[in-house]
Amino acid sequence: PDREAFVTLATNDPYAYGALILGQSLRNVTTTRKLAVLVTSQVTQPLRRQLNLVFDHIQQVDPLDSQDAAHLTLLARPELGITFSKLHCWTLTQYSKCVFLDADCLVLRNVDDLFEREELSAAPDVGWPDCFNSGVFVFRPSLETHKELLQCALTLGSFDGGDQGLLNTFFKDWPTKDMNRHLPFIYNMTSSMSYSYLPAYLFFRHDIRIVHFIGLGKPWLYTYHVRNGHLQPPQGLTSHHDEEFVKKWWSIFVSHIKPRLEQESGSLLYEL
Amino acid sequence: PDREAFVTLATNDPYAYGALILGQSLRNVTTTRKLAVLVTSQVTQPLRRQLNLVFDHIQQVDPLDSQDAAHLTLLARPELGITFSKLHCWTLTQYSKCVFLDADCLVLRNVDDLFEREELSAAPDVGWPDCFNSGVFVFRPSLETHKELLQCALTLGSFDGGDQGLLNTFFKDWPTKDMNRHLPFIYNMTSSMSYSYLPAYLFFRHDIRIVHFIGLGKPWLYTYHVRNGHLQPPQGLTSHHDEEFVKKWWSIFVSHIKPRLEQESGSLLYEL
Ligand SMILES: O=c1ccn([C@@H]2O[C@H](COP(=O)(O)OP(=O)(O)O)[C@@H](O)[C@H]2O)c(=O)[nH]1
Ligand SMILES: O=c1ccn([C@@H]2O[C@H](COP(=O)(O)OP(=O)(O)O)[C@@H](O)[C@H]2O)c(=O)[nH]1
Ligand SMILES: [Mn+2]
Ligand SMILES: [Mn+2]
């Protein structure tokens, strides 16, 4: 277990808040594994100090951008080229096996059993379920694989302009080869889908282990009123997330992160 | 191949039009298998005569309704209780293996290789991908299985009020047991999804073999102007289907079905 870690990524302060709550959610379910976070130089010192209180290991990496405006426009997410930075997680060779989690994930129940899986294990993407969603995946750090991934990025590129298109091209036997590499959807419940098959969602929702807040409506962009527990979606967005889960995210913020922030002086921290 | 068949279902005339175009699309890709259609008494004589020209076998069955208003309301599809009638496909024991296709499917390329699969093979549902979508599945007719399915309907019921919830309860090892029972998504491309992961859709769309027009916007509810090829979505619905595929549906209607209808006298046929 000492050589196994959960890994996430934050290239800026807003996503670093996501990483913080994610890391804390893993502590709350008493994981026995290490916690590591990749950051780029844009993440500020006050946030790094907070990350240090939750994570075992902060690794600075160079930002890597797909620069692929054409495909990202199709995805309506011009900002996601930067998710190529995720590929650096393969350089964490001090660990023998890792689980990558997007910073917009929230762990509801212990998921240490994920380390029984092999590279590359992931859950289906609801948009095109023969692709896996790259927000949660099991991998083996390896400089060799890292090099091949960067090579693949240069030669074949990503069909969606983000890390998910690239990883699906690289691990292209995922849809057909081995059932054990298909994680159950409850390990990466992409939250906006709750309404597209509501009966199934209600039937299986008690089993959900990881909620993944995909899309533009990240939990840290909601306005949360601590006093009355009222929640407002980000301006201009109709929320597709189940409010219960966004509230769970904020309740961890209030109980574990806010008190620590209040001991800090950096005014930036109060802007959230 | 003589003991293998594609099977569909129509409980009324609008869906019978769907079955007609589906059957013709299978003929157009020169399937070597038999075509069978289950109908209930509501399907009128003129439509049955048309079905007879395309299908090898018309089987009348009793309508079977889940009567489960509560779950169907969650699905926002109160009319789908009748899809329990689908369960009767297991009674077609003159065949050793079958592929069931919803009447709102359109076959674009030969899919006879589906008969290499075993019961129960199906593609993931995009709403909750650990469930299979019951619009396309491989099964083995068996009176025993038929009886067990009806028993399951009475005891456990369906978590969505339709056939899909029931079949997923009955074949509950589908998500974990055998990769060969996971059909590639291109064998049941649920059409409304084209926009939720557009880059993947554009990347894989040339490979699509079966389009499934899920939801309220069935192709036969569109208005198609034969003269200029113009297409209008059903009133009050913003179409989620790729118009190219709806046009393909209508082009089969115009080239193969309309000429035959024009030899009929029943005025009902011209209302479409
Ligand atoms: O500006 C960004 C965008 C993304 N990410 C990281 O890349 C992941 C994938 O991006 P996102 O979660 O926004 O994509 P989605 O899940 O909505 O497709 C995030 O969770 C972060 O870990 C980041 O650090 N900075
Ligand atoms: O009134 C109905 C509703 C459904 N069906 C049959 O049941 C299938 C499933 O229903 P539908 O395709 O409307 O469900 P969806 O795929 O939109 O969930 C149809 O394709 C038909 O074969 C039918 O015959 N009559
Ligand atoms: Mn994400
Ligand atoms: Mn259908």
pLDDT value at B264 more than 80 = no
Q: Do residues A148 and A170 lie in contact, with contact meaning Cβ atoms separated by under 8 Å? A: yes
Task: Return the structure tokens found at B69.
Answer: 């208003």
In chain A, which residue's Cα lies nearest the Cα of B186?
A: A130
| Peptide bond before residue B120 is cis, with ω within 30 degrees of 0 | yes
Chain A positions in Cβ-Cβ contact with residue B73 (cut-off 8 Å): none
A254 CB near a chain B CB, below 8 Å? no
pLDDT value at A150 more than 70 = yes
Nearest to A130 by CA among A90, A159, A101, A99: A159
Distance CA A219, CA A242 (A): 11
Query: Residue A16 has what pLDDT?
Result: 98
Q: Do residues B158 and B134 lie in contact, with contact meaning Cβ atoms separated by under 8 Å? A: no
Res. B106 pLDDT band, cuts 50 70 90? very high
What residues contact B163, with CB distance under 8 A and at least 6 apart? B83, B84, B86, B87, B134
> Is A213 touching ligand 1 by the criterion CB < 6 Å?
no
What mean pLDDT do residues B20-32 have?
A: 98
Nearest atom within ligand 1 for CA of residue A212? 16
pLDDT value at A270 more than 60 = no
């069978």: which residue's tokens?
B36
> Is A186 touching ligand 1 by the criterion CB < 6 Å?
no
DSSP strand pairing (B97-101 vs B132-139): antiparallel
Nearest to B170 by CA among B187, B153, B188, B193: B153
- Contact (CB<8Å) B197/A128: yes
> Is A165 touching ligand 1 by the criterion CB < 6 Å?
no
Q: What is the pTM of this model?
A: 0.95
A69 CB near a chain B CB, below 8 Å? no
Give the count of beta carbons closer than 10 Å to the beta carbon of residue B185: 25
B53 CB near a chain A CB, below 8 Å? no
Chain A positions in Cβ-Cβ contact with residue B77 (cut-off 8 Å): none
Average pLDDT, chain A: 92
Q: What angle, 0 to 180 degrees and rounded to 10, lies between the N-to-C axes of helices B143-155 and B163-170?
A: 110
Q: Which ligand has the shortest distance to the CA of A19? A: 1
- Contact (CB<8Å) B199/A159: yes
Nearest to A245 by CA among A184, A201, A199, A196: A201
What mean pLDDT do residues A27-34 have?
A: 98
Greater model confidence, B58 or B79 = B58
Task: Return the structure tokens found at B116.
Answer: 């290499």
Query: Residue B269 has what pLDDT?
Result: 42
Q: Which of A125, A176, A203 sits opposite B197 (nearest CB)?
A: A125
Q: Which of B178, B193, B197 sits opposite A179 (nearest CB)?
A: B178
Chain A positions in Cβ-Cβ contact with residue B210 (cut-off 8 Å): none
Task: Return the structure tokens found at B174.
Answer: 């589908």
pLDDT value at B266 more than 60 = no
Res. A265 pLDDT band, cuts 50 70 90? low
B183 CB near a chain A CB, below 8 Å? no
Q: Do residues B200 and A159 lie in contact, with contact meaning Cβ atoms separated by under 8 Å? A: yes
Chain B positions in Cβ-Cβ contact with residue A129 (cut-off 8 Å): 123-124, 126, 129, 185
Chain B positions in Cβ-Cβ contact with residue A175 (cut-off 8 Å): 182, 184
């129509």: which residue's tokens?
B10
Res. B224 pLDDT band, cuts 50 70 90? very high
Chain B positions in Cβ-Cβ contact with residue A202 (cut-off 8 Å): 74
Q: Could you say which DSSP state residue B102 is in?
A: -
B160 CB near a chain A CB, below 8 Å? yes
Q: Which of B125, B165, B200 sits opposite A131 (nearest CB)?
A: B200
**How far B190 CA sits from the closest chain A CA (Å)?**
10
Average pLDDT, chain B: 92
Chain A stretch 198-227, residues whose beta carbon is closer than 8 A to a beta carbon of chain B: 198-204
The alpha carbon dihedral of B45, B50, B53, B57 has a sign of: negative
Give, using CA atoms, the residue closest to atom 14 of ligand 2: B214
pLDDT above 90: percentage of residues in chain B:
79
Q: Which ligand has the shortest distance to the CA of B22? A: 2
What mean pLDDT do residues B194-209 have?
A: 89
Task: Return the structure tokens found at B172.
Answer: 């509950």
What mean pLDDT do residues A19-44 have?
A: 98
**How far B257 CA sits from the closest chain A CA (Å)?**
33
SS in 3 state form for chain A? CCCEEEEEEECCHHHHHHHHHHHHHHHHCCCCCEEEEEECCCCCHHHHHHHHHHCCEEEECCCCCCCCHHHHHHCCCHHHHHHHHHHHHHHCCCCCEEEEECCCEEECCCCHHHHHCCCCEEEECCCCCCCEEEEEEEECCCHHHHHHHHHHHHHCCCCCCCHHHHHHHHCCCCCCCCHHHECCHHHCEEHHHHHCCHHHHHHHHHHCCEEECCCCCCHHHCEEECCCCEEECCCCCCCCCCHHHHHHHHHHHHHHHHHHHHCCCCHHHHCC
Up-side HSE of residue B151: CA atoms within 13 Å toward CB? 7
Cβ–Cβ pairs < 8 A, chains A and B: 106
ipTM over 0.85: yes
What mean pLDDT do residues B212-224 have?
A: 93
pLDDT above 70: percentage of residues in chain A:
96
Indicate which of B133, B169, B203, B210 best probes the interface with A, i.e. most A CBs within 10 Å of its own CB. Answer: B203
Nearest to A99 by CA among A169, A158, A22: A22
B130 CB near a chain A CB, below 8 Å? yes
- Across chain B, the runs of DSSP E, i.e. the strands, are 4-10, 34-39, 57-60, 97-101, 105-107, 121-124, 132-139, 189-190, 210-212, 223-225, 230-232
Nearest to B68 by CA among B164, B150, B159, B169: B159
**How far B227 CA sits from the closest chain A CA (Å)?**
32
Indicate which of A83, A126, A159, A214 best probes the interface with B, i.e. most B CBs within 10 Å of its own CB. Answer: A126
